Structure 1
Amino acid sequence: MIPTNFYMYFVAALIPMIIGATYYHPKVLGTAWMKSNGFTMESLEGANMSVIMGTAYLLSFVLAFGMTGSVVHQVNVGSLFMPEVMEPGSAIQQELSDFMTKYGDRHRTVTHGLVHGFINALFFALPLIGINAAFERRGWKYVLIHFGYWAITLMLMGGLLSATLEFGGL
């Protein structure tokens, strides 16, 4: 189910960029991040920032789109009735419509999205970062720096999407 205000995905995709620019700034955690990676300011120079930022934004958009199912539970309900629900005027389509009229606005708050954003960070981002860190032989400082970034980022993305996405019939 695609939201009627699809543009919110483009807005949500900005969150990792903004948080990253702040979080990884040398006066916040950037120096600790560079030290945990063995980077210097000189080693970071010369990168193609257009490609890096473009790729990061595109992947942030994919992430925002993918988070919808975990922060807006109603988008998953219709899948329980496939394929019958796709038949125009079917009894199951009417039942789903009635159900959404009654329950479609439940758990559609910033707070709900924040909670699910943190759950995503804890159960998806942390294990992924930790697995990569283990194979890259990075320490816990590296893991915790990145987990902090993703916890903040996913919470804010989840809060925004939960509170603002609008679906026809929800």
Structure 2
Amino acid sequence: MDMDINWLAIVAASILPLVTGFIWYNPKVFGTAWMKETGMTEEKAKTMNPAKTYGLAVVFAFLIAFMIWPTVFFGGSPEDPHGTEPFMTFKHGALHGAMLALFIVLPVFATNALFEMKSAKYVLINVGYWVVTMALMGGIINAWT
């Protein structure tokens, strides 16, 4: 069982949230609904510092990817541990990424949304994005060995 971290996979997975976000938050997908639910306006969006926002987004995504790595490679049973051939698939990594999103991101977003008095639609749009994104991240990290 090779436990060396594939840094290229981690970096690729770190860029992925920008790609999925570009699609997910496009006005033709969930962008318009997201803007309405968050109170974001076109004018406010134009005041964003792109270097800071996208730069930090990649740094934060790197932290997520770095924590997905041990999740997909460690575990299983002593007879059939993760990190061995039957588990080295995109599907296995995607399952772990999605589970992390459902069991960590969902409770965090939902708790914040309760206190911020945000709608369930707000939670579903954002958590849906992270479930899809983290599933893809886990798939890339696990399959790219």
2:53 counterpart of 1:73? no
Indicate the residue corresponding to 2:86 in structure 1: 106
Separation in 1, partners of 2:95, 2:48: 36
Separation in 2, partners of 1:145, 1:52: 20
Separation in 1, partners of 2:118, 2:97: 25
1:95-118 deviations in whole A, cap 9, x for unaligned?
Answer: xxxx98xx7323110111111111
Indicate the residue corresponding to 1:140 in structure 2: 120
Pairs aligned (count):
140
1:78-102 deviations in whole A, cap 9, x for unaligned?
Answer: xxxxxxxxxxxxxxxxxxxxx98xx
Indicate the residue corresponding to 2:103 in structure 1: 123
1:1-57 deviations in whole A, cap 9, x for unaligned?
Answer: 542x32211111011110001101111100000000112111211211110000000
- Aligned structure 1 segments of 4 or more residues deviating by more than 4 angstroms: none
Query: Normalising by structure 2, what TM-score?
Result: 0.88
Counterpart residue identity of residue 120, structure 2:
W
Instruction: After TM superposition, give the deviation of residue 64 of structure 1 in Å.
Output: 0.4
Separation in 1, partners of 2:87, 2:99: 15
Indicate the residue corresponding to 1:164 in structure 2: 144
Q: 2:134 aligned to 154, 157, 165, which one? A: 154
Separation in 2, partners of 1:121, 1:63: 10
Instruction: After TM superposition, give the deviation of residue 151 of structure 1 in Å.
Output: 0.7
Separation in 2, partners of 1:148, 1:68: 21
Provide structure 2 residue ranges, at least 5 long, that are not aligned to the other structure: none
Separation in 1, partners of 2:95, 2:9: 19
2:25 counterpart of 1:45? no
Indicate the residue corresponding to 1:56 in structure 2: 57
What's the Cα RMSD here? 2.0
Identity %: 38
Greater CA radius of gyration, 1 or 2?
A: 1
Separation in 1, partners of 2:130, 2:99: 11
